[in-house]
Amino acid sequence: MIRISHLVKTFEGASDVHALKDVSLDINKGDIFGIIGISGAGKSTLVRCLNLLERPTSGSIEVDGVEICNLEGRALREYRHRVAMIFQGFGLLSQKTVLDNVYFPFLASKGTVSPQDRQIAENLLARVGLSSKAEVYPAQLSGGQQQRVAIARALACNPEYILCDEATSALDPASTASILELLKTINKETGVTVIIITHSMDVVREACNNVAVLSHGELVEKGSVEQVFAHPTHEITKQLLGVEDWHE
Ligand SMILES: Nc1ncnc2c1ncn2[C@@H]1O[C@H](COP(=O)(O)OP(=O)(O)OP(=O)(O)O)[C@@H](O)[C@H]1O
Ligand SMILES: [Mg+2]
């Protein structure tokens, strides 16, 4: 499980930005956990701390009992291998074919691709329904298809955790639904823990078991999806439930 305790992230500058203020949160293994909040709430900063793209200013993050905030070198690389990231804009390599994109984690970690790796990548493409697109380039795919490739690539490392930052916000409702369905199926099959960052309460309702609400860097509400939807306590949660895609 992931145990976030008293996490603080301050971006120092002419005027400091307090992106995360004393955030504490447990995310259980095997869960599909939503983190929701309006623009600027600190959601991306939180996931970037989880995979150490950002170092927290203070506080701790324990993953399966191990403090990760100070990992470096080999231990950091091994940790990142366990935590896959899928983000807005897909992050695919435009000069590489779809299959080569799915290979990429193997190339990056080992420098070569074995026949077994190729087989795994082909199986993953089949898993996301894109076998027929193996040799085309990302630009030739729809947004939903590109997101599927990004998911296949994330799964190539056989991760224990998948972090999705606005992974569906650029997609139409049907593509969003099919991506969420895919994540739910993979969660059920493999037990991978999925953390979904979103603006949309619909996404939370559709996919998540538990949810946390961030506002101005503070965690203002958390609980099971049923409980939070039935009895929202914080003003921001009520706003998010009442007005979809509402921005500050
Ligand atoms: N590298 C950075 N340097 C300075 N400030 C930053 C940096 N990254 C984020 N911030 C600030 O931290 C705050 C939280 O940003 P963050 O990207 O985490 O929000 P978010 O909830 O993901 O928003 P959105 O829904 O728009 O993606 C914002 O005020 C943002 O301007
Ligand atoms: Mg963000």
Q: pLDDT for 114-168, tens place per residue?
A: 999 899 999 999 988 899 999 999 999 988 889 889 989 988 888 999 999 887 7
Which residue owns the Cα nearest ligand 1 atom 4? 11
Which residue owns the Cα nearest ligand 1 atom 7? 11
Q: Radius of gyration of the chain from Cα atoms? A: 18
pTM of the full structure: 0.90
Ligand 1, pocket residues at CB < 6 Å: 11, 17, 19, 37, 39-45, 199
The proportion of the chain whose per-residue pLDDT surpasses 70, expressed as a percent, equals 96
List the domains of the chain with CATH numbers: 1-82+160-248 (3.40.50.300), 93-158 (no CATH)
Q: Is the pLDDT score of 89 beyond 90?
A: no
Exposed e or buried b per residue across 144-166, where buried means at least 16 C-beta atoms within 10 angstroms of its C-beta: bbbbbbbbbbbbbbebbbbbbbb
248, exposed or middle or buried, with CB in 10 Å at 0-12, 13-18, 19+?
Answer: exposed
Question: If you measure from the C-alpha of residue 41 to the centroid of ligand 2, how many angstroms do you get, rounded to a whole number?
Answer: 8
pLDDT in tens, 161-192: 999 988 777 778 888 888 899 899 999 999 99
Which residue owns the Cα nearest ligand 1 atom 17? 44
